[in-house]
Amino acid sequence: MLAKEVIRKKRDGGEMTRAEIDFLIRGITDGSMTEGQVAAMAMAVFFRGLSRHERVGLTLAMRDSGAVMDWPDADRPIVDKHSTGGIGDNVTLVLAPALAACGVGVPTIAGRGLGHTGGTLDKLEAIPGFDPFPAPERFRTLISKHGCAMIGQTDQIAPADRRLYAIRDITATVETLDLITASILSKKLAEGLDALVLDVKCGSGAFMQAQEDAIRLAEALVEVATGAGCPAVAHITDMNQPLASAVGNAVEIRNAIDVLRGDHADPRLLTVTRRLGGELLQMTGLAPTLAEGEAMIAESLNSGRAAESFAQVVAAQGGPADLVDRPATHLQRAEVTLPVLAETHGRIIACDVRAIGLAVIDLGGGRHVTADRIDHSVGFTGLAEIGAEIAPPTPIGVVHARNVEEAERGAAALRAAYTFGTGDPRKGALIGPRIDAESIRTESCVQ
Ligand code: URA
């Protein structure tokens, strides 16, 4: 087989066979396909698209380019959730231990921040001593002992995606549903899951800003995951404002701990956490209905079992044993904290969430290029919500910065991100459409 002939077939609108897809993915992984050929393949897919069979085949081939976990001795269902990326989205930090406390296994593989959005791996690295790269056997032990472990993506997971994504990134071929779907799912399905819930963000801070685009992505993800043998459900959730009241790394860990302990109710974060967890508990048969699944998640939070589970996971992965009891002792604090007072007063009707994400990067809490080092202490807390009436001296948030100059720059960015006015609030339903296999009438096409 010749790579250029397979590329030609796709370029001319043909459908690649599974053997041809496997051949290309092998070539991407072992380097026998040149960068030019990989770019040409990505561009051919960009213009011609993939059939459902091709999408499933590509996802499975990319998944199988590296290590794929299996859990033959597991005494509980293995599940995970994936978020397409948001701001102030610390759902994983609350949901994974809550699920573990409900009796499922959650082998979370977390990523770094992408563009303006935060990454769970960066947040976990804000915990002193936390080891996000345990050896594979240790990872297994953590799941069987604690029901949950949170690790970073390594070179062993879907290496074909790593190379393909790097080439897509420099050849204007990131924005294709076919390749996005295969990229996301190849990594998630490598976890050997019994069920997957997808949180597809929609709004000014999301990858997908229009609801119809978010629905198309959700449908593609559910269809391909299901076709690849992993039951999946997606929810479209609102990203027209940060999900939680804190955005950054250490401040989001603190926020998650406060929510787990019940010291702070972040209502939108909790609603999304309960819904995604409830779905997974229903999908695995541990809850008879979605409502009962949600109630189980709420109970694990209210009883303190989820907080206990988080504390155990953190300690087992090298973090402080008393992090949950004494977060302030361990989490890095920024040199300067400054309440941000609005220059206008009245009702907040809109929020430029992307601008808040970029402001965190500017404070030093995210990356401009992959090699950038992150300052885990910086970010925002106490962020005001759309619909809030702001009157002096109520701040719209607090900026955490390395110095006064950066704090003032962050404060100006935060002020500019909020719109005050009298019109309708610009936000969607917190939890929008639900997409499952039935709703898109898919059938299994594992090859
Ligand atoms: N996230 C991924 O992991 N891959 C993509 O292609 C886009 C977003």
Q: Is 146 a catalytic residue?
A: no
Is 91 inside a domain boundary?
A: yes
Return the pLDDT at 441.
Answer: 65
Angle at which helix 91-101 crosses helix 267-283, to 10 degrees, equals 40
Question: Which residue among 59, 108, 173, 183 is the active-site one?
Answer: 183
Domain boundary among the residues 326, 345, 360 is at: 326
Is 282 inside a domain boundary?
A: yes
Which of helix, strand or coil describes residue 372?
coil
Residue nearest to atom 1 of ligand 1 (CA): 184
Tell me, yes or no, whether 207 and 343 share the same domain: no
Question: Which residue among 163, 187, 235, 275 is the active-site one?
Answer: 187
Domain boundary among the residues 326, 348, 379 is at: 326
In sequence order, the β-bridge partners of residue 351 are 418
Q: What is the DSSP letter of 16?
A: P
Tell me, yes or no, whether 293 and 359 share the same domain: no
Structural Rg of the chain based on CA atoms:
22
Return the pLDDT at 442.
Answer: 46
For a pocket test of ligand 1, which of 89, 116, 164, 174 has the largest count of ligand atoms closer than 8 A to its C-beta? 174
Return the pLDDT at 332.
Answer: 97
184 lines ligand 1 (CB under 6 A): yes
In this structure, are residues 443 and 229 in contact, taking their beta carbons and an 8 Å threshold?
no
Domain boundary among the residues 279, 307, 326 is at: 326
Q: Is 188 a catalytic residue?
A: yes
Q: What's the token pair of residue 205?
A: 């801070």
Q: What is the pTM of this model?
A: 0.93
Between the CA of 84 and the centroid of ligand 1 the distance, in Å, is 8
Tell me, yes or no, whether 194 and 299 share the same domain: yes
State how far the Cα of 150 lies from the Cα of 133, in Å rounded to an integer.
9
- Measured from the Cα of 165, ligand 1's closest atom is 6
The region, left, alpha or beta by phi > 0 then psi within -120 to 50, assigned to residue 216 is alpha
Q: Is 4 a catalytic residue?
A: no
Is 447 inside a domain boundary?
A: no
Between the CA of 26 and the centroid of ligand 1 the distance, in Å, is 20
41 lines ligand 1 (CB under 6 A): no
CATH number for the domain that contains residue 33:
1.20.970.10
The tally of domains found in the chain comes to 3
The residue range of the domain holding 298 is 79-153+182-326
Tell me, yes or no, whether 231 and 294 share the same domain: yes
Tell me, yes or no, whether 224 and 269 share the same domain: yes
State how far the Cα of 299 lies from the Cα of 289, in Å rounded to an integer.
15
Between the CA of 252 and the centroid of ligand 1 the distance, in Å, is 22
Return the pLDDT at 446.
Answer: 39
Is 56 inside a domain boundary?
A: no
How far from chain centre, in Å, is Cα 237? 12
Tell me, yes or no, whether 306 and 362 share the same domain: no
Tell me, yes or no, whether 271 and 320 share the same domain: yes
Is 438 inside a domain boundary?
A: no
208 lines ligand 1 (CB under 6 A): no
* Angle at CA of residue 79, ends 76 and 82, nearest 5°: 165
Residue nearest to atom 6 of ligand 1 (CA): 180
Q: Is 168 a catalytic residue?
A: yes
Is 292 inside a domain boundary?
A: yes
Tell me, yes or no, whether 251 and 274 share the same domain: yes
189 lines ligand 1 (CB under 6 A): no
Q: How many Cα neighbours within 13 Å face the side chain of 3?
A: 18
In sequence order, the β-bridge partners of residue 113 are none
Return the pLDDT at 243.
Answer: 97
- Measured from the Cα of 180, ligand 1's closest atom is 6
In this structure, are residues 319 and 130 in contact, taking their beta carbons and an 8 Å threshold?
yes
CATH number for the domain that contains residue 95:
3.40.1030.10
| Terminal C-alpha separation, the chain | 20
CATH number for the domain that contains residue 343:
3.90.1170.30
Tell me, yes or no, whether 91 and 44 share the same domain: no
Return the pLDDT at 121.
Answer: 92
For a pocket test of ligand 1, which of 116, 184, 199 has the largest count of ligand atoms closer than 8 A to its C-beta? 184
Tell me, yes or no, whether 274 and 392 share the same domain: no
Is 433 inside a domain boundary?
A: no
Question: Which residue among 10, 123, 188, 268 is the active-site one?
Answer: 188
Q: Is 187 a catalytic residue?
A: yes
Q: Is 400 a catalytic residue?
A: no
Average pLDDT, consecutive stretches of 10 residues, N- to C-terminus, the chain (447 residues)? 97 98 98 97 97 97 96 93 94 98 95 80 96 93 94 92 92 92 96 97 92 96 96 97 97 98 94 98 97 98 97 97 97 97 91 96 87 92 95 92 98 96 89 93 44
Q: Is 80 a catalytic residue?
A: yes
Tell me, yes or no, whether 45 and 10 share the same domain: yes
25 lines ligand 1 (CB under 6 A): no
Q: How many CB atoms lie within 10 A of CB 26?
A: 17
Between the CA of 181 and the centroid of ligand 1 the distance, in Å, is 7
Is 167 inside a domain boundary?
A: no
- Which residues fall within 8 angstroms of residue 228, CB to CB, at 6 or more apart? 56, 59, 60, 63, 185, 189, 446
Return the pLDDT at 440.
Answer: 83
Tell me, yes or no, whether 112 and 237 share the same domain: yes
